Amino acid sequence: MKKTVLLVVLALGFLTIANAQNGKKATSSDDKIEVVADGLAKIKFNEISHDFGNIKEGTQATYEFTFTNTGTAPLTLETVQASCGCTTPEWSKEPIAPGKTGKIVATFNSSGRPGTFTKTITVKYNGASESNTEYLTIKGFVETAPVVPQTPVAVPNN
């Protein structure tokens, strides 16, 4: 009899511990156990690179990258940072619901920057991948602005 009671107590103890490790509450057979899995946000860009081609010096070249949250939880862009000060990113600050789209607008200031350029925008988000980071690229060639000769101004001698 003592062995049976001891076995029952041990079995109940093990069941309680097993349920506690699974995040479940030990309950009677009439209660239902609800297991809630955390959803994960996933980001998918339509394009991760854009080539402006040739642009004239002084142009504010702008491109809009669009993305979709293909995950099961809201997607939040934590940081969006350009590789230099000549590129300015703007992005959706509100969480993006699963299945919905957002955008990142990258503007490159070509003033005083003739020649080939390649700029990277680093996007960090609350996603499901190990790194939770994506990289966007803009590139092109800035044509040097023509030099306009200045007309000399005559100053009368006094």
Distance of CA 56 to the CA centre of its chain: 30
Q: Which domains does the chain have, with CATH numbers?
A: 43-143 (2.60.40.10)
For residues 116 and 84, is the Cβ–Cβ distance under 8 A?
A: no
* 72 backbone dihedrals φ, ψ, rounded to 5°: -115, 5
CA distance 98 to 67: 11
pLDDT of residue 131: 76
Q: What is the pLDDT of residues 64-101, one digit of tens each?
A: 999 999 999 999 999 999 999 999 999 989 999 999 99
Considering only 19-23, 66-70, 124-128, which range has the smallest mean pLDDT? 19-23
> pTM for the whole thing?
0.68
Q: For the sheet containing 101-109, what is the strand order?
A: 43-45, 60-69, 101-109, 87-91
